[in-house]
Amino acid sequence: MKLSHAMAAVAGVAAGAAAFVTVPMATAHGHGYEPQLNPANFVKVIDNPYFPLPVGRTLIYRGIKDGRSQIDRVHVTSSTRKIEGITATAVTDVSTHRGKLLEKTTDWYAQDKQGTVWYLGERTAAYLPGGKIDRSGSWLAGVKDAEPGIVMKAHPAVPQGYRQEYLKGEAEDTAWIVNLGGKLTTPARTFRHVLTSLEFTRLEPKVIDQKIYGRGVGIISERAVHGPKEVAILVRVIH
């Protein structure tokens, strides 16, 4: 996809075009985004091929963010939390630069019976100079009008688009699938039949991110295709 085409698609997402952003197993009420999820329609195990979360797995990424090298360690914990009546799995993400803690995040996910993985909340803390901590971007479905979003469809196809999260002014990521197929070699291994998506938030209108997902693992590459340089590549899978 050419960047000019991507920007046009982004504009559609940012405008909230109902024809573009589709949400399975959910309905929208009034003029806003308000998916209605039934806790009875969720399962305990998250095994979507493009976003599996087996308990105990750790994914390690190396990359660059804010002009400096960074290591991200993503771990699927055995901890769960009830969010809107749904049992969600906690996944931690710890970012460091030469051993120094940069950011620590806990994300909560759950999978419905159809196989779609939902994003139910995020608690994040960025550690700034002078001992300051920035917790902006944190949200939890059902709190302060925050709504859950989709992180991976059960049956992804081009050009599906969806909200990944929603808390006005804090968490407004959207995504759409732009390619299915091809391969990508990372330091971890070579992945075939990969899925590529683009992400955008109106809170950062000059940034577009590309994510590539490998079957059986999840995110294997992330980079900014528009905006400040940012990249993360999967280097190791533990468990």
Q: Is the pLDDT of residue 26 over 80?
A: no
pLDDT of residue 11: 40
Q: Which of 36, 23, 21, 60 is CA-nearest to residue 199?
A: 21
Minimum mean pLDDT range among 25-29, 89-93, 111-115, 203-207 = 25-29
pLDDT of residue 213: 98
Minimum mean pLDDT range among 11-20, 51-60, 103-112, 119-128 = 11-20
pTM: 0.87
Structural domains of the chain sorted by starting position, each given as residue range(s) with its CATH number in brackets: 3-238 (2.40.360)
Minimum mean pLDDT range among 25-34, 86-95, 153-162, 163-172 = 25-34
Q: Is the pLDDT of residue 18 over 90?
A: no
Residue 210, classed as helix, strand or coil, is strand
Residue 32's pLDDT band (cuts 50, 70, 90): confident
DSSP track, 17-76: -TTTB--TT----TTS------GGGEES----TTS---TT-EEEEEEEETTEEEEEEEEE
Q: Is the pLDDT of residue 25 over 60?
A: no
Q: Is the pLDDT of residue 107 over 90?
A: yes
Read off the pLDDT of each residue in 97-117 and give the average, rounded to a whole number: 97
Q: How far apart are CA 130 and CA 14, in angstroms?
A: 35
Residue 49's pLDDT band (cuts 50, 70, 90): very high
DSSP track, 82-139: EETTEEEEEEEEEEEETTEEEEEEEEEEEEETTSPEEEEEEEEEEE-GGG-EE-TT-E
Q: Residue 170: which residues within 8 A CB-CB, separation 6 or more? A: 136, 137, 138, 139, 146, 203
One-letter amino acid identity for 46? I
pLDDT of residue 227: 95
Q: How far apart are CA 120 and CA 192, in angstroms?
A: 29
**Running DSSP on this structure, what letter comes out for residue 227?**
S
One-letter amino acid identity for 219? I
For residue 120, CA distances in Å to 73, 115, 137 come to 20, 15, 13
**What mean pLDDT is reported for the chain?**
89
Q: What are phi and psi of 217, to 5 degrees?
A: -130, -50
Read off the pLDDT of each residue in 172-194 and give the average, rounded to a whole number: 97
One-letter amino acid identity for 146? A
Q: Which residue is associated with the tokens 């940034």? A: 207
Q: Which two tokens stand for residue 187?
A: 């330091």
Q: Is the pLDDT of residue 9 over 80?
A: no
